[in-house]
């Protein structure tokens, strides 16, 4: 029943990627015979879709399965079960049923940006080889055409084309991340999966890369699946956000709805834990007791119940179902409709040094010139 | 003003590399008051961690502290210059861990993988507090309990790999606080942790600070964390403190263009989507052979030709407790231009 609601909500033709019941269990092997004694349920039955031109944020703490999910979407790792459908020329193609060669051709349309700009670029390849690799691998371009395309891509991401023959070590962290983005753009993909793409960067560089990602989305009509643990980055960039906890999606909603009125206690706690960059705001923080559950031996019932302030008896025994609380707002909680949860303290322009532009205006340059002359 | 516990003046630590002299710290000055939390903020490579290491004299080779003073005041008012002590000498070793201790960023790499957690806490206690092993063990258990580790008796026998990141950081804090230090140097203590765990650890550090009455130097690159924990903030850029002010003042009225842009470049919850983030153009240069001008000049939108490129601006007090290293805010910058 729940799946029909998903389908009703979406006008089918807009959907670029549709994921149904996706699972990835990693076996735990023990002993000499490598007997399988259990499974780490990294991704445990996830349903969602992404519309064309949209940015879906995926947020959660380390170990919740967000990176595994991102890789499963591209079939970078083989999922245990489930469907991943990608729209190509009007047809929904199930990626998990493709053969090796078909999958390879498919990858032109879906690319990935990685977290660590230092380990994701081969130090023995030049920029031309790195950025051009998707084109060479898919036999799309060679020779001068390839050269020109890579030079163009470099300019698109804000690097100078004259650096084509350099090796990655000659670039800074932010520049390397730009190279990673250029490589992802090379084959003109529709979907880009960005796994913690700005997490390793300094704040000032992070802002540059976030702006670049937004510009590129507009320019090339890209669709992003943006994985991050940083809620303020997610809020800045994403149209819709989904929250993961121990392999399951616990909430999915439009960004504003999720931040203003969360429908899952975990989201509430996560929002309250964001440090506010303003010393005058005193946050009432929800400190979660205990630690994130072990995905190989999750608790009974609702996985979140041992840490949940609102848990009742039913939460210990019965698994909650994925229900649509408001239009397009899904939650995995028995009491999603009853609970009145607190969102992030959003008071536009208040207590926010950056937005208080009137008080923050730097004196204009000419003022200083006159000051200097006097 | 509160009594000072540590006063650092014109601290210079240079790394002698094949490429030239890398001036990681080039005249850092600040002070920390009793029971005060000084937040030190800056991007990677600005010298935050080297500052903490210089104070404890554990700068890795080929780095050397080549100038300045770091005075540690004792209760009576007498002071010792840490930079004059021999890095391997008895005197500094008596201070490390006892009067000043440090929490490192990565709890995984800074704990020994081959010793149990209990042994690692006892080590510091046995050096500084007591020779009695039983007493030390009991004390270690108390410390584990205090930092909120459930079932300390069993967990003291665990090895670091058996613990989660948050638990490891709690162990690090237990080690650092086991000898009631007067000053705690916390180098990005929550950077490697998730937000909900970070909230737990920050809460714990605040509680322990009140309980033990220590001063904290809190190093981080996260402006949100700084706003939460610090009383006063020092902003660092390329091996110098460029602005220092009480935390509310700094966030309400930042003066240095670097601070202003840094505050504007972070995405904030509630600012709304679609608005462009302000960025700082360019990247942090490598501090080898930098010209003698304002180090931020190349990236500064307000740079004044003929003023900023003449000399490095001094850290001048422009309001009560608010100092800034920028000609835009110096009274007598016309002197520099003539």
- Say what the pLDDT of residue A346 is: 57
Contact state of A275 with B227 under an 8 Å Cβ cutoff: yes
What is the reported pTM?
0.82
Inter-chain contacts counted by CB atoms under 8 A, chains A and B: 180
Residue B203 burial (CB count, 10 A): 14
Residue A127: per-residue pLDDT = 94
**Which of B151, B191, B193, B196 is the best mutation test for A, with the most CBs of A within 10 A?**
B196
Q: Do A352 and B284 touch (CB under 8 A)?
A: no
Nearest-CA distance A356 → chain B (Å): 9
Residue of B nearest to A229 (CA): B194
Give the mean pLDDT per block of 10 residues along chain B (338 residues): 83 91 92 93 88 92 91 86 89 90 84 92 89 90 87 89 86 89 91 83 89 92 90 94 94 93 84 74 82 88 87 89 90 50
Q: What distance in Å separates the CA atoms of residue A306 and residue A71, rounded to the nearest whole number?
A: 29
CA distance A349 to chain B (A): 7
The Cα B113–Cα B207 span in angstroms is 29
What is the per-residue pLDDT for A358? 35
Domains and CATH numbers, chain A: 2-238 (3.40.50.300)
CB pair distance less than 8 Å for A277 and B200: no
Rounded CA-CA distance A180/A115 in Å is: 9
Nearest to A61 among B196, B272, B279 (CB): B196
Give the domain ranges of chain B: 108-180, 259-268+277-337
- What is the predicted pLDDT for the residue at A89? 84
Chain A, residues 244-273, CB within 8 A of chain B, namely 255, 259, 269-273
The answer to whether A273 contacts B199, with C-beta atoms less than 8 Å apart, is yes
Q: Judge contact between B268 and A232, C-beta under 8 A.
A: yes
3-state SS class at B124: helix
Please give the pLDDT value at position A243. Answer: 95
Cβ distance of B267 and A291 shorter than 8 Å: no
Find chain B residues with C-beta within 8 A of A228's C-beta.
Answer: none
Annotate chain A with three-state secondary structure.
CHHHHHHHHCCHHHEEEEEEEEEEEEEEEECCCCEEEEEEEEEEEEEEEEECCCEEEEECCCCCCHHHHHHHHCCCCCCCEEEEEEEECCEEEEHHHCCHHHHHHHHHHEEEECCCCCCCCCCCCCHHHHHHHHHHHCCCCCHHHHHHHHHHHHHHCCCCHHHCCCCHHHCCHHHHHHHHHHHHHCCCCCEEEEECCCCCCCHHHHHHHHHHHHHHHHHHCCEEEEEECCHHHHHHHCCEEEEEECCEEEEEEEHHHHHHCCCCHHHHHHHHCCCCCCCCCCCCCCCCCCCCCCCCCCCCCCCCHHHCCCCCHHHHHCCCCCEEEECCEEECCCCCCCCCCCCCCCCCCCCCCCCCHHHHCCCCHHHHHHHHHC
The CA distance from B243 to the nearest CA of chain A, in Å, is 16
Residue ranges of chain A whose pLDDT lies below 70: 1-13, 283, 345-374
Residue B338's pLDDT is 36
Probe site for chain A from B19, B194, B203 (most A CB atoms < 10 A): B194
In whole angstroms, what is the distance from residue B121 CA to residue A170 CA?
Answer: 43
- Tell me if A291 sits within 8 A of B164, measured CB to CB: yes
**pLDDT digit string, tens, across residues A244-300:** 999 999 999 999 999 999 999 999 999 988 888 888 877 678 888 877 888 888 889
């Amino acid at each position: 029943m729940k799946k029909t609601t998903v389908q009703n909500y979406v006008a089918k033709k807009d959907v670029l990627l549709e994921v149904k019941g996706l699972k990835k269990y990693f076996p735990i092997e023990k002993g000499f015979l490598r007997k399988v004694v259990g499974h780490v349920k990294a991704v445990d039955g996830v349903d969602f879709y992404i519309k064309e031109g949209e940015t879906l944020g995926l947020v959660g703490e380390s170990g919740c399965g967000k990176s595994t999910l991102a890789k499963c979407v591209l079939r970078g790792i083989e999922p245990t079960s489930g469907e991943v459908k990608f729209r190509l020329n009007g047809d929904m193609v199930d990626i998990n049923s493709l053969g090796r060669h078909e999958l390879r051709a498919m990858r032109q349309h879906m690319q990935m940006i990685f977290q660590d700009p230092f380990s994701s670029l081969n130090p023995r390849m030049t920029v031309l080889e790195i950025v051009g690799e998707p084109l060479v691998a898919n036999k799309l371009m060679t020779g001068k055409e390839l050269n020109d395309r890579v030079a163009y891509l470099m300019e698109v991401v804000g690097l100078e084309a004259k650096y084509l023959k350099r090796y990655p070590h000659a670039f800074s962290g932010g520049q390397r991340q730009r190279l990673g983005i250029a490589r992802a753009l090379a084959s003109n993909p529709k979907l880009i999966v960005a796994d913690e793409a700005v997490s390793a960067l300094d704040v000032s560089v992070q802002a540059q890369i976030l702006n670049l990602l937004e510009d590129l989305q507009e320019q090339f009509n890209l669709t992003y699946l943006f994985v991050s643990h940083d809620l303020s980055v997610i809020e800045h960039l994403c149209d819709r956000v989904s929250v993961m906890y121990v392999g399951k999606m616990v909430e999915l909603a439009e960004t504003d709805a999720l931040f203003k009125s969360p429908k899952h206690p975990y989201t509430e706690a996560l929002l309250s834990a964001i440090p506010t960059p303003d010393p005058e705001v005193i946050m009432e923080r929800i400190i979660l007791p205990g630690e994130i559950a072990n995905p190989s031996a999750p608790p009974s019932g609702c996985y979140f119940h041992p840490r949940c302030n609102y848990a009742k008896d039913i939460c210990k025994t019965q698994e909650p179902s994925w229900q649509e609380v408001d239009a397009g707002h899904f939650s995995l909680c028995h009491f999603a409709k009853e609970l009145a949860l607190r969102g992030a303290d959003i008071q536009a322009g208040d207590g926010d040094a950056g937005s208080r532009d009137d008080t923050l205006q730097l004196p204009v340059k000419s003022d200083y010139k006159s000051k200097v002359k006097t | 003003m509160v009594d000072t516990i540590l006063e650092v003046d014109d601290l210079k630590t240079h790394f002698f590399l094949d490429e030239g002299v890398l001036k990681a710290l080039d005249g850092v000055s600040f002070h920390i008051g009793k029971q005060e939390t000084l937040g030190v903020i800056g991007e990677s490579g600005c010298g935050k961690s080297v500052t903490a290491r210089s104070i404890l004299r554990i700068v890795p080779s080929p780095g050397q502290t080549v100038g300045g003073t770091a005075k540690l005041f004792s209760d009576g008012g007498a002071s010792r210059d840490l930079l004059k002590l021999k890095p391997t000498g008895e005197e500094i070793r008596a201070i490390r861990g006892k009067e000043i201790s440090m929490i490192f960023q990565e709890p995984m790499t800074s704990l020994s993988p081959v010793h149990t957690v209990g042994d690692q806490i006892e080590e510091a206690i046995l050096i500084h507090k007591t020779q009695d092993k039983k007493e030390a063990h009991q004390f270690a258990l108390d410390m584990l309990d205090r930092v909120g580790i459930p079932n300390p008796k069993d967990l003291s026998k665990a090895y670091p790999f058996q613990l989660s990141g948050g638990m490891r950081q709690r162990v690090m804090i237990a080690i650092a606080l086991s000898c009631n230090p007067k000053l705690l140097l916390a180098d990005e203590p929550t950077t490697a942790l998730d937000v909900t765990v970070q909230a737990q650890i920050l809460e714990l550090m605040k509680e322990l600070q009140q309980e033990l009455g220590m001063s904290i130097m809190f190093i981080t690159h996260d402006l949100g964390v700084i706003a939460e924990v610090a009383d006063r903030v020092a902003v660092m850029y390329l091996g110098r403190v460029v602005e220092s002010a009480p935390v509310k003042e700094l966030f309400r009225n930042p003066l240095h263009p670097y601070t202003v842009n840094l505050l504007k470049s972070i995405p904030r919850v509630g600012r709304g989507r679609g608005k462009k983030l302000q960025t700082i153009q360019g990247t942090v240069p490598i501090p080898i052979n930098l010209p003698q001008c304002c180090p931020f000049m190349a990236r500064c939108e307000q740079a004044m030709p003929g003023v900023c490129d003449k000399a490095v601006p001094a850290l001048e007090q422009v309001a009560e407790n608010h100092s800034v290293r920028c000609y835009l805010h110096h009274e007598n910058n016309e002197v520099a231009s003539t």
